[in-house]
């Protein structure tokens, strides 16, 4: 093994000491030098070098009895010194320096740091594994289950169906068309396997009811008959009103067309003809106020002889109005088996049972009033909870809860969402009947003629046409990309429904859904952070004065998964951050020094006269001596290039005794005494070199450093602006402290947000918001999330009351 050469002043001092002491009989050159260094050099010799020389002196003493033909044995000190100098690495801006492994080309490796991951990363990996196990679960409740038919990905749970439970919900498809759900267990199935269920597109889902009880009161029955079944061009009936009667009968009034409009009254009962058909049998008929039963019997005239009713939903068969159960309301499609009908003045109550669920066992998370949806992927505007676990509850627990499917966006915008850390979602909504938009819609309906369906449809298809046109316009907003963010893939952002709406095509049939609900076009997500204490993990982070960046998944085409910091990188577009000294100390103590054996311990940093002072403990070669030696270093820290920072101490004190001059005189670099090489940082010679790409816990931070300045507040880092990447554009009223994420697809909790527009604030903090990337689930679960009618998310970290 090559011995470290002693040069310059150190060698000269060695020769002078040898001359003063006189010649020795056949000493080795190394033993002579060691003896010279062991001469009294004063109290100023620090333990830092004394420990090194102690070993050499012992070897020198034993060497004086040996002949010159006996080679000197290398000591641990000489091995460490030779190893350290032979394993120096050179960092360049264009490539990642070998900061994690030493060069062993000289045959001896440097003292290796432990290969174990820091506890901070292990904790995050454990958290990610727990979250993954939740994402992999299969929905199962009350005897109902759904299977995974495709692999689980960041965009797809692989589960097509969802379990749905509901109780005490006044469920409206639109307006008064709907039914009061007392209790229900059902499954939701997407119309197209592999596609999510889309709340905004009722044609995308079928509701398969397994068990339940629902009631249609007079208003709902009237809406179904008057506004849906017979409100179309050329209909033979109009102005119908349905009133349930005690005793099991219905009284239907209206007008029938017999060259002119003639008043008609029908009385009868509802019954099931078969599993799919509901029948209203008229046993009493009045025409123009005159009973017509006997006359019709005598003339052998049936209702079907007076009226021509033959539509996809209802037809006249003799004196029976036969209705298709699955089509009694506008989409979504209903599949239910009616086993019992009970008619009273309160309404018609249907007992539903397909004999697959013996009884409803409510899941533990089922609200007292509301709905619960579990499993599968369900999309709300831009957001798609995957393998969903969502409860819908009323804001007012004491008032009737009306949920209007075609107007749910208005309810969503007036309510709020909460998450738990595991990803379960609670949606808190006001009753639709209490909203101003509901009152305005009712007033408009009263002031304008009732819309009628097309003659070709032969039912009132205007509901679904209006709903799909509204959806098409909303999607123009959800899929909109600023001109600066457009890519070649933007052409596919225009959904089929939108094209049809503006070309005059019919939207009454399914197929108008956006062709790919799981993707959005455009660039990877952009982020703007303004005046935020942004923590990557624990105490490690920055104060961000203002920063633009882009979150780029490592595999193109994937969304950014905020729960997996190894899955994406952050490319800094430009800005300025401050790393407070406590945060920088935490970077060392909680992350970089989280291994054994190590050479540095308990580092503290503070600015002194424009320089950085570092105090802590050292052990020589990671283990000698057995106690930490109090050490203080002072020096400058600068940006070496656009990627690396360099800290070069000009003053080193051990136990309060200056050592830098002596180390320089003896040509002993710090790296040979305290070898330190970890991911993203290495002590090379007398310089501590940081790679700002990899020194922090994941995700990787990639930026072009412009400068690094020591200040009282912390280390100020400025980044050159990358003009090739468009920056995010925060809302005009964003405030003074916030995080804004725009464009691209981002997975937060278990929800995929496409073409995201997410605003994060803390309304309880008028100063600087704190945001913890690794702990965002914890913090968001304490606050509230609001969804605008544009699909944007407003996340408030203020602890909800």
- How distant is the alpha carbon of residue 528 from its chain centre? 17
Question: Rounded to whole angstroms, how far apart are CA atoms 61 and 41?
Answer: 18
441: number of CA atoms within 13 Å, CB side?
14
Mean local confidence (pLDDT), 430-444: 80
Is residue 613 over pLDDT 70?
yes
Q: How confident is the model at residue 399 (pLDDT cuts 50, 70, 90)?
A: very high
Please give the backbone phi and psi of residue 406, each rounded to the nearest 5 degrees, phi first: -70, -15
Question: Rounded to whole angstroms, how far apart are CA atoms 740 and 738?
Answer: 7
pLDDT at 9: 39
Q: How confident is the model at residue 659 (pLDDT cuts 50, 70, 90)?
A: low
Question: Rounded to whole angstroms, how far apart are CA atoms 385 and 434?
Answer: 27
- With the CA atoms of 186, 192, 197 and 201 taken in that order, what torsion angle do they form, in degrees rounded to the nearest 10? -110
**Contact status, residue 586 vs residue 539, Cβ threshold 8 Å:** yes
Is residue 584 over pLDDT 90?
yes
Q: Could you report the per-residue pLDDT of 141-171, keeping only the tens digit for each?
A: 999 999 999 999 999 999 999 999 999 999 9
Higher-confidence residue of 279 and 9: namely 279
Which residues are within 8 A (CB) of 11 and not within 5 positions of it... i.e. 6 or more apart? none
Among the ranges given (396-400, 504-508, 608-612, 739-743), the one the predictor scored with the smallest mean pLDDT: 504-508
pLDDT at 296: 87
Question: Rounded to whole angstroms, how far apart are CA atoms 314 and 323?
Answer: 4
Question: Rounded to whole angstroms, how far apart are CA atoms 378 and 754?
Answer: 13
Question: Rounded to whole angstroms, how far apart are CA atoms 156 and 138?
Answer: 13
DSSP conformational letter for 432: G
Q: How confident is the model at residue 21 (pLDDT cuts 50, 70, 90)?
A: very low
Q: Could you report the per-residue pLDDT of 685-700, keeping only the tens digit for each?
A: 889 999 999 999 999 9
Strands 162-174 and 177-190: antiparallel
Question: Rounded to whole angstroms, how far apart are CA atoms 168 and 714?
Answer: 57
pLDDT at 583: 97
Q: Could you report the per-residue pLDDT of 276-310, keeping only the tens digit for each?
A: 999 999 999 999 999 998 888 888 889 899 889 99
Q: How confident is the model at residue 444 (pLDDT cuts 50, 70, 90)?
A: low
Give counts: helices (H), strands (E), the chain: 16, 45
Question: Rounded to whole angstroms, how far apart are CA atoms 561 and 636?
Answer: 38
Among the ranges given (1-15, 149-163, 594-608, 633-647), the one the predictor scored with the smallest mean pLDDT: 1-15
Angstrom CA distances, 577 to 706, 760, 768, 797, stand at 12, 19, 14, 22
Q: Is the peptide bond before 332 cis (omega within 30 degrees of 0)?
A: yes
Of these ranges, 11-15, 287-291, 668-672, the one predicted with the greatest mean pLDDT is 287-291
Q: Could you report the per-residue pLDDT of 258-273, keeping only the tens digit for each?
A: 889 999 999 999 999 9
Angstrom CA distances, 450 to 227, 237, 561, stand at 8, 14, 48
Question: Rounded to whole angstroms, how far apart are CA atoms 801 and 155?
Answer: 33
First to last CA, the chain: 70
Q: How confident is the model at residue 237 (pLDDT cuts 50, 70, 90)?
A: very high
Q: Which of 531, 612, 544, 576 is nearest to 717 (CA)?
A: 576
Question: Rounded to whole angstroms, how far apart are CA atoms 264 and 288?
Answer: 6
Is residue 322 over pLDDT 70?
yes
Angstrom CA distances, 410 to 278, 478, 730, stand at 34, 15, 24
Instruction: Report the DSSP beta bridge partners of residue 352.
Output: 212, 338
Return the percentage of the chain with pLDDT > 70, whole number: 79
Question: Rounded to whole angstroms, how far apart are CA atoms 260 and 243?
Answer: 25
Q: Could you report the per-residue pLDDT of 30-51, keeping only the tens digit for each?
A: 333 333 333 323 333 334 344 4
Is residue 431 over pLDDT 90?
yes
Is residue 597 over pLDDT 70?
yes
Among the ranges given (66-75, 358-367, 420-429), the one the predictor scored with the smallest mean pLDDT: 66-75
Nearest-10 crossing angle of helices 76-86, 47-63: 120
pLDDT at 579: 96
Question: Rounded to whole angstroms, how far apart are CA atoms 643 and 692?
Answer: 6
Q: How confident is the model at residue 348 (pLDDT cuts 50, 70, 90)?
A: very high
**Residue 310 burial (CB count, 10 A):** 11
Mean local confidence (pLDDT), 16-28: 37
pLDDT at 274: 93
Question: Sign of torsion, CA 747 753 758 764?
Answer: negative
Higher-confidence residue of 598 and 57: namely 598
Question: Rounded to whole angstroms, how far apart are CA atoms 625 and 648?
Answer: 24
Angstrom CA distances, 732 to 300, 459, 726, 744, stand at 75, 46, 17, 21
Mean local confidence (pLDDT), 104-131: 70
Higher-confidence residue of 323 and 27: namely 323
Which residues are within 8 A (CB) of 66 and not within 5 positions of it... i.e. 6 or more apart? 26, 28
Question: Rounded to whole angstroms, how far apart are CA atoms 524 and 583?
Answer: 29
Angstrom CA distances, 292 to 33, 265, 281, 288, stand at 130, 10, 15, 9
**Residue 450 burial (CB count, 10 A):** 13
- 3-state secondary structure at position 63: helix
Among the ranges given (284-298, 336-350, 411-425), the one the predictor scored with the smallest mean pLDDT: 284-298
Is residue 11 over pLDDT 70?
no
Q: Could you report the per-residue pLDDT of 488-498, keeping only the tens digit for each?
A: 343 333 344 33
Is residue 195 over pLDDT 70?
yes
Q: How confident is the model at residue 446 (pLDDT cuts 50, 70, 90)?
A: low
Mean local confidence (pLDDT), 550-563: 96
Angle at 788 between CA 782 and CA 791, to 5 degrees: 100
pLDDT at 655: 78
Of these ranges, 81-85, 295-299, 408-412, the one predicted with the greatest mean pLDDT is 408-412
Mean local confidence (pLDDT), 454-482: 93
Q: Could you report the per-residue pLDDT of 723-769, keeping only the tens digit for each?
A: 999 999 999 999 999 999 999 999 999 999 999 999 999 999 999 99
Instruction: Report the DSSP beta bridge partners of residue 333.
Output: 206
Q: How confident is the model at residue 482 (pLDDT cuts 50, 70, 90)?
A: confident
Which residues are within 8 A (CB) of 284 and not within 5 positions of it... i.e. 6 or more apart? 265, 266, 267, 268, 291, 293
612: number of CA atoms within 13 Å, CB side?
26
Q: Does residue 316 come out as left (phi exceeding 0), alpha (psi in the -120 to 50 range) or beta?
A: beta
pLDDT at 555: 95
Report the mean per-residue pLDDT for the chain: 83
């Amino acid at each position: 093994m090559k011995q470290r050469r002693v040069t310059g002043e150190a060698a000269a001092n060695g020769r002078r000491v040898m001359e003063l002491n006189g010649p020795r009989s056949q000493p080795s050159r190394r033993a002579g030098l060691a003896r010279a260094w062991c001469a009294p050099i004063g109290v100023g010799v620090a333990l830092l070098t004394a420990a090194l020389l102690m070993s050499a002196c012992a070897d020198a003493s034993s060497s004086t009895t040996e002949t010159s033909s006996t080679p000197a044995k290398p000591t641990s000190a000489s091995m460490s010194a030779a190893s350290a100098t032979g394993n120096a690495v050179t960092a360049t801006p264009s490539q990642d320096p070998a900061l994690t492994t030493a060069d062993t080309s000289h045959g001896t490796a440097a003292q290796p740091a432990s290969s174990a991951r820091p506890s901070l990363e292990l904790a995050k990996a454990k958290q990610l594994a727990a979250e993954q196990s939740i994402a992999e679960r299969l929905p199962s409740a009350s005897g109902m289950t759904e299977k995974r038919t495709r692999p689980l990905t960041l965009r797809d749970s692989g589960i097509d169906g969802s379990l749905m439970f509901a109780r005490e919900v006044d469920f409206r498809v639109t307006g008064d068309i709907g039914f009061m759900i007392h209790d229900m267990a059902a499954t939701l199935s997407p119309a197209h396997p592999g596609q999510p269920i889309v709340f905004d597109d009722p044609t995308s889902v079928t509701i398969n009811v397994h068990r339940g009880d629902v009631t249609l009161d007079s208003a709902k029955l009237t809406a179904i008959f008057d506004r849906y079944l017979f409100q179309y061009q050329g209909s033979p009936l109009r102005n119908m009103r349905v009133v349930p009667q005690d005793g099991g009968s219905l009284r239907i009034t209206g007008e029938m067309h017999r060259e002119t409009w003639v008043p008609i009254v029908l009385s009868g009962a509802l019954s099931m003809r078969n599993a799919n058909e509901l029948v209203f049998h008229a046993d009493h008929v009045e025409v123009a106020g005159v009973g017509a039963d006997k006359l019709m019997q005598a003339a052998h005239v049936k209702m079907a002889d007076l009226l021509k009713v033959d539509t996809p939903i209802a037809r006249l068969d003799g004196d029976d109005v036969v209705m298709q159960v699955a089509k009694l309301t506008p989409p979504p499609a209903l599949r239910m088996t009616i086993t019992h009908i009970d008619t009273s003045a309160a309404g018609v109550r249907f007992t539903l049972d397909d004999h697959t669920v013996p009884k409803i066992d409510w899941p533990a998370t089922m609200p007292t009033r509301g709905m619960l949806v579990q499993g599968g992927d369900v999309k709300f505007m831009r957001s798609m909870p995957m393998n969903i676990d969502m409860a819908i509850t009323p804001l007012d627990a004491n008032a009737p809860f009306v949920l209007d499917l075609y107007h749910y966006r208005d309810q969503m915008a007036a309510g709020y969402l909460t998450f738990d850390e595991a990803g379960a979602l609670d949606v808190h909504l006001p009753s639709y009947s209490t909203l101003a938009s509901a009152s305005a819609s009712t007033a408009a309906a009263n002031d304008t003629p009732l819309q009628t369906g097309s003659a070709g449809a032969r039912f009132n298809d205007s509901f679904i046409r209006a709903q799909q046109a509204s959806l098409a316009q909303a999607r123009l907003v959800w899929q909109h990309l600023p001109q600066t963010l457009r890519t070649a893939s933007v052409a596919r952002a225009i959904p089929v429904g939108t094209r049809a709406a503006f070309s005059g095509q019919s939207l009454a049939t399914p197929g108008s859904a956006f062709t790919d609900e799981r993707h959005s076009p455009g660039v990877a997500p952009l982020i703007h952070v303004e005046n935020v204490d942004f923590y990557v993990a624990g105490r490690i982070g920055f104060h961000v004065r203002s920063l633009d960046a882009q979150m780029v998944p490592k595999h193109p085409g994937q969304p950014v998964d905020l729960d997996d910091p190894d899955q994406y990188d952050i490319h800094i577009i430009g800005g300025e951050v401050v790393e407070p000294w406590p945060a920088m100390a935490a970077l060392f103590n909680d992350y970089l020094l989280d291994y054994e054996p190590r050479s540095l311990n308990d580092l503290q940093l503070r600015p002194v006269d424009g320089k950085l002072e570092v105090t802590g403990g050292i052990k020589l070669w990671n283990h000698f001596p057995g106690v930490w030696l109090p050490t203080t270093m002072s020096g400058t820290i600068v940006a070496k290039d656009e990627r690396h920072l360099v800290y070069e101490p000009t003053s080193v004190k051990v136990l309060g005794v200056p050592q830098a001059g002596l180390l320089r005189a003896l040509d002993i670099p710090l790296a040979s005494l305290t070898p330190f090489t970890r991911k993203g940082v290495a002590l090379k010679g007398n310089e501590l070199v940081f790679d700002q790409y990899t020194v922090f816990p994941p995700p990787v931070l990639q930026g072009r450093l412009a400068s690094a300045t020591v200040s009282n507040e912390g280390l100020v880092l400025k980044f050159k602006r990358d003009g090739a990447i468009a920056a995010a554009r925060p809302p005009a009223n964003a405030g003074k402290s916030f995080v804004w994420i725009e464009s691209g697809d981002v997975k937060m909790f278990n929800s995929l947000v496409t073409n995201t527009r997410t605003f994060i604030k803390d309304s309880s903090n008028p100063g600087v918001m704190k945001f913890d990337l690794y702990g965002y689930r914890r913090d968001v679960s304490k606050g509230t999330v609001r969804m605008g009618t544009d699909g944007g998310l407003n996340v408030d970290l203020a602890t909800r009351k």
